[in-house]
Structure 1
Amino acid sequence: METEHHPLAYPFEPGAGLTLHPRYAELRERPLTRVRMPYGDDAWLATRYADVKTVLSDPRFSLAATGGRDYPRVEPVAGPHGGLMSLDPPEHTRLRSVLAKEFAARRIEGLRPRARELAGETLDRIVASGPAADLVEDFAVPFPSELNCELLGLPREYAGFWKWVEDLQSGIRETGDAEEGIARFTSRLGEVVARRREQPGDALLDVLLRACDADGRITESELYAVVGDLLIAGFAPVCGQIAVSLHHVLTRPRALERLRAHPEDVPAAAGELLRHVQLIEFTVPRYAVEDVTLGGVRVRAGEPVLAAPAAANRDPAAFPDPDALALDRAGAASLAFGHGPHHCLGAHLARLELEVALEAVAHRLPGLRLAVPERSLRWKTGGIVNGLRALPVIFDAAAAGRATSRTAAEGTAAAAPDRVGSAAQPRCPSAT
């Protein structure tokens, strides 16, 4: 374990299938622990459910204070400082308020029919080329990516943005040169922004443009920063969550059969998979703006704290038998989407996409199973977002071919009624 002069090396390498490192369980039984990231300042690590909630919601822990500091991180160089994930209220509240109505639960729920349609189209392509597929490249990436492009008002070619983000992050880790990649992104996005200014619509990008050009609520640089936040947060984590959740369901055959037979259980299953699946182990660091007692230690003003929601979601003080995947679990809300002012703006959308993915795959691909031994699956680790590199599967092509190409909405609407109630259809135009 660590000593006063030798903090623990962090992050901890996950086990097979992203199994949470056992050291987290040890640390939950001890006072707050010091850790050393590959780069930047040493930090305190919060692992208990109550402590993580405090770090994420208490204004004495500041995100904005990371600006200009050598903050703890996994990349050699600090990323650009801007956007929602680098601000505290009231500036954070001002930026977030521009899009808060667009991501409200009732409005996002109105997207469900379109999401089911896109999921169905994606699975139709898989069935047409079956009986084998990679559920990462063929489904978990294109389905939410295309939906998010429509919402933002980006050309469909941006559905491949997740790969660009991965390449950029890899380049930063290997060479420390982020400026060129960021410049390319800004240039490409600038072309889209210019076209939308000439031909405005009703997508999220247009909402941001009106807030910038007509209302003066945000600056041009803030517009680019927020769009970058939405792209990065809306692509890699969601794609990864869908893929790893499908892996967990496929490696528990009774779970898949349960979702097929009882699609009304999908929402509870999605919530439990969000708690159980560990893609993001730690958050952006917060710096204490005054001395704070947390987890039995005194965090001094100016010291950074990393919160570990992955560990908090396995805290037995909040979740009975926390290491078990219980698809009907009830009780405390997980911290999968964070907590407090920075609770994920797109949480309702991400959860809807996971629910639609689970019900669509269960409905459309009979006989679905892994095409390789589970031990041969390849995993991405060592970054901010972990996940599966590929999820090769096979299915009963004859049975799938006999099924109609109707969407999961038609197959499950009677069993899974709208839980939110009628709502105005959100803007989801075809991208231009």
Structure 2
Amino acid sequence: MSEAVSTEKCTKAPPFPQDRTCPYQPPPGYAEFRDQGAAVKGTLYDGSSVWLVTGYRAARELLSGGHLSADRQNPGYPIVSPRMEGIRHQPPSFVGMDAPQHTRHRRMLMNEFSVHRVAALRPVIETIVDEHIEAMLGQGGPLDLVPAFSLPVPSRVICEILGVPYADHAFFQETSRNLIQADSPEQALEAAGELGAYLERLIGDLLAEPGPGLLGRLARDQVAHGELAPHELVMNALMVLIAGHETTASMITLSVITLLHHPSQLEALRADPALATRAVEELLRYLSIADIAGTRVAATDIEVGGKHIREGEPVVVVHSLANRDATVFPDPDRFDIRRGDRRHMAFGFGVHQCLGQNLARAELEIALPALFGRLPGLRLAVDLDRVVPRDGGTVQGVNTLPITWGSGT
């Protein structure tokens, strides 16, 4: 009996996060988590233990019931990759806060991402998409979809919303990528410092002379009146700037790969562009690119699926597994653009649900039909096994995607 207990104590839970082997599928090792119930133990890169919430209903209940804390300065907050060590002690943006601080900051930003505001932006998004497709047609294939289209389209849109000069887009695209994909805490801190210094200068200029966009409004209405500290606006702007283009860029690129490798689904979309809205919802569910966004700390003792999670223990709500819960999504591993189920958790759930989800949906609904409609014969210019997914500790995606189009092989 004692030998059995000793063996159990020496056996570590499977690692989390893990790397994908296929850009549009969860890591093969996550199948082990799916078989163990709504909450299972995982092991982080530093050997520490973490609770993984994999069941859809448990995930929604925990994210909406005040059971979890998003406080990134809590000692129990899970650090899922070395790069996060470098930024955990920085002043947090509002996504790393709990109520009432989180509520106050989020309310300052909400109007810019409302359904009404995004609807008004659609003509702008359509123009940006068309301009980049025209440039691609002028250049001709093969080319890399990421720098030609996936990254600059959402980058220009978020510049429009924030009021960031688009002339600076190359700087913040490169620096935000260095932050998200840093190999060490030091690299992450360096990139965060460069972006923070840039935003400090921009906000200083906006305080001296009013300017457009979300930053201009907050500088004028909140910072100038002492209701928001300059460093708070910097951290919130940093979060919106990075999340506003990196995540959507990844979704555009992975959506193209997924549709190309499900030709019957792509043909259905081409035959009926009205399916775009439903297709986007299925792509969001199926791809689930933001597993690491579900990092939390237990705010109280919790019972999940017969497992006891103690207050202060690290928790990750694993969106990619919750979104493939067969009790909610029949045949969950099948990609079906007619499913169109908006109950997915690609944007999280509860008070921390993604602020920019309306914008992301609009960009995808516009970008994908335009790409496949205006680039007949769009296809990968390399075999899929040469397309390398990013590591599991960051926003899921690929850094390069060679494509071509037109006739020929």
| TM-score of the alignment, normalized to the shorter chain, above 0.5 | yes
Structure 1 counterpart of 2:79: 72
Partner residue of 1:321 out of 331, 340, 349:
331
In structure 1, give the amino acid aligned to 2:242: I
Structure 2 counterpart of 1:92: 102
Is the aligned partner of 1:162 residue 2:168? no
Structure 1 counterpart of 2:4: none
Kindly indicate whether the alpha-carbon contact (under 8 Å) linking 1:212 and 1:223 is maintained by their aligned counterparts in 2: no
Q: Which moved more, 1:383-392 or 1:114-123?
A: 383-392
Kindly indicate whether the alpha-carbon contact (under 8 Å) linking 2:292 and 2:393 is maintained by their aligned counterparts in 1: no
Q: Deviations over 1:245-286 (max 9, x none)?
A: 011112233333333332111111011101111322233422
Q: Distance in 2 between matches of 1:62 and 1:125?
A: 45
1:169 and 1:270, CA in 2 relative to 1: closer, same or farther beyond 3 A? closer
Kindly indicate whether the alpha-carbon contact (under 8 Å) linking 2:67 and 2:298 is maintained by their aligned counterparts in 1: yes
Kindly indicate whether the alpha-carbon contact (under 8 Å) linking 1:123 and 1:361 is maintained by their aligned counterparts in 2: yes
Task: Report matched runs for 1:7-26 at 5 Å.
Answer: 7-26=13-32
Q: Distance in 2 between matches of 1:70 and 1:280?
A: 17
1:208 and 1:39, CA in 2 relative to 1: closer, same or farther beyond 3 A? farther
1:376 and 1:331, CA in 2 relative to 1: closer, same or farther beyond 3 A? closer
Partner residue of 2:279 out of 269, 294, 305:
269
Q: Which moved more, 1:366-375 or 1:99-108?
A: 366-375
Alpha-carbon distance, 1:159 to partner: 2.6
1:291 and 1:73, CA in 2 relative to 1: closer, same or farther beyond 3 A? same
Is the aligned partner of 1:43 residue 2:50? yes
Structure 1 counterpart of 2:260: 250
What fraction of aligned residue pairs are identical, expressed as a percent?
32
Q: Which moved more, 1:3-12 or 1:234-243?
A: 3-12
Kindly indicate whether the alpha-carbon contact (under 8 Å) linking 1:40 and 1:70 is maintained by their aligned counterparts in 2: no
In structure 1, give the amino acid aligned to 2:65: D
Structure 2 counterpart of 1:401: none
Partner of 1:8, secondary structure, is: coil
Structure 1 counterpart of 2:3: none
Q: Distance in 1 between matches of 2:372 and 2:82?
A: 38
Partner of 1:344, secondary structure, is: coil
Alpha-carbon distance, 1:40 to partner: 7.6
1:219 and 1:41, CA in 2 relative to 1: closer, same or farther beyond 3 A? farther
Structure 2 counterpart of 1:310: 320
Task: Report matched runs for 1:169-208 at 5 Å.
Answer: 169-171=180-182, 173-174=183-184, 176-208=186-218
Structure 2 counterpart of 1:407: none
Normalised TM-score (structure 2): 0.90
Partner of 2:348, secondary structure, is: coil
Q: Distance in 2 between matches of 1:352 and 1:237?
A: 14
Q: Distance in 1 between matches of 2:298 and 2:77?
A: 15
Partner residue of 1:136 out of 141, 146, 162:
146
Partner residue of 1:121 out of 125, 131, 156:
131
Structure 2 counterpart of 1:408: none
Q: Which moved more, 1:62-71 or 1:266-275?
A: 62-71
In structure 2, give the amino acid aligned to 1:20: P
In structure 1, give the amino acid aligned to 2:46: Y
Kindly indicate whether the alpha-carbon contact (under 8 Å) linking 2:86 and 2:184 is maintained by their aligned counterparts in 1: no
1:46 and 1:68, CA in 2 relative to 1: closer, same or farther beyond 3 A? closer
Alpha-carbon distance, 1:41 to partner: 4.4
Q: Which moved more, 1:326-335 or 1:104-113?
A: 326-335
Partner of 2:290, secondary structure, is: coil
Alpha-carbon distance, 1:51 to partner: 1.7
Partner of 1:99, secondary structure, is: helix
Structure 1 counterpart of 2:364: 354
1:379 and 1:332, CA in 2 relative to 1: closer, same or farther beyond 3 A? closer
Q: Deviations over 1:310-369 (max 9, x none)?
A: 111111011011011100104461100000000000000011111111121022111212
Structure 1 counterpart of 2:244: 234
In structure 2, give the amino acid aligned to 1:12: Q
Is the aligned partner of 1:60 residue 2:67? yes
Partner residue of 2:219 out of 209, 223, 232:
209
Ranges in structure 1 where 5+ consecutive residues have no aligned partner? 399-432
Q: Deviations over 1:273-312 (max 9, x none)?
A: 0111132223342212221111221111111111100111
- Over the aligned positions, Cα root-mean-square deviation in angstroms equals 2.2
Kindly indicate whether the alpha-carbon contact (under 8 Å) linking 1:370 and 1:391 is maintained by their aligned counterparts in 2: yes
Kindly indicate whether the alpha-carbon contact (under 8 Å) linking 2:76 and 2:313 is maintained by their aligned counterparts in 1: no
Kindly indicate whether the alpha-carbon contact (under 8 Å) linking 1:134 and 1:390 is maintained by their aligned counterparts in 2: yes
1:117 and 1:142, CA in 2 relative to 1: closer, same or farther beyond 3 A? same
Alpha-carbon distance, 1:26 to partner: 3.5
Q: Distance in 1 between matches of 2:113 and 2:81?
A: 30
Partner of 1:185, secondary structure, is: helix
Normalised TM-score (structure 1): 0.86
Kindly indicate whether the alpha-carbon contact (under 8 Å) linking 1:75 and 1:176 is maintained by their aligned counterparts in 2: no
Q: Which moved more, 1:88-97 or 1:102-111?
A: 102-111
Q: Distance in 2 between matches of 1:330 and 1:180?
A: 41
In structure 1, give the amino acid aligned to 2:16: Y
Structure 2 counterpart of 1:413: none
Partner of 1:334, secondary structure, is: coil
Kindly indicate whether the alpha-carbon contact (under 8 Å) linking 2:297 and 2:312 is maintained by their aligned counterparts in 1: yes
Partner of 1:328, secondary structure, is: coil
Alpha-carbon distance, 1:103 to partner: 1.0
1:65 and 1:149, CA in 2 relative to 1: closer, same or farther beyond 3 A? closer
Kindly indicate whether the alpha-carbon contact (under 8 Å) linking 1:268 and 1:328 is maintained by their aligned counterparts in 2: yes
Q: Distance in 2 between matches of 1:33 and 1:246?
A: 33
